[in-house]
Amino acid sequence: MDWQTSFAISGAGMKVEQTRFNVAALNLANANAVIGRDGSGFRPLSVIAGTTNYSAPFKSYMQKEQMLASYAPRIQGIVEQDVSPRQISMPGHPEADDKGFVQVPGVNSTLEMLNIITALRAYEGNVVAMNAAKSMAQKALDIGSGS
């Protein structure tokens, strides 16, 4: 197992969690951004994260350690969530329809808060893993310094 792999994996994980955090924050920030009558406006987004390599069972790649890095997570896409907008009664709003309703994105605030917390914790986990990899490698450098 080469020493760069653990850093590459942790780095990829941090990238993914960063994106998940950004998207959740974006959803929360736009939770009350009114969608225009023409339908133009924000739709809640969600992140599709996956591994690069689905093709073979994980265990067989564990044996070929060089391929481990190809299992590092990556962002496969950011897609719009399939939720309909919420209707809020706001008569007199310039974008209100004839019944006095405006549309705002159907952001599930609870779910987005949960995403933020899990992304944060997973990010911390990646940092811990990277620091552990570093101190492990530094221990490997101590080989032979006893004499």
Partner 1 sequence: MIDSIAAYGNMEGIGNVATNATRSTTFIDWMSTELTKANGAINDADVNLKKLAANEPVALHEVMLSIEEARLQFQLVTQVRNRILDAYQDLLKMQI
Partner 2 sequence: MPTEGMAIARLALDAAMLRHQAIASNIANVNTAGYVPLRVNFEEQLASVSGNQGSGDKLQGVTPFIEQESKPNGLTPQVALDMEIVKLNMNTLHYQALLRAISRYTSIEVVAITEGSR
For partner 1, which stretch binds (CB under 8 A), given 9-17, 50-58, 78-86, 136-144?
Answer: 136-144
DSSP state string for 46-77 = EEEEEES--SS-HHHHHHSGGGGGGGSEEEEE
Q: Which does 5 bind (CB under 5 to 8 A by kind): partner 2, partner 1, none?
A: partner 1
Q: Does 143 bind partner 1 (CB under 8 A)?
A: yes
User: Is there a contact between 104 and 31 (Cβ–Cβ < 8 Å)?
Assistant: yes
Tell which positions 11-70 bind partner 2, by CB under 8 A: 11, 14-15, 18
Q: What angle do CA 29, 30, 34 make, to 5 degrees?
A: 145
The two beta strands, 45-51 and 73-80, are: antiparallel
Q: Residues in contact with partner 1, total (CB under 8 A)? A: 11
Site string for partner 2, 101-130 (x = CB under 8 A): -----------------------------x
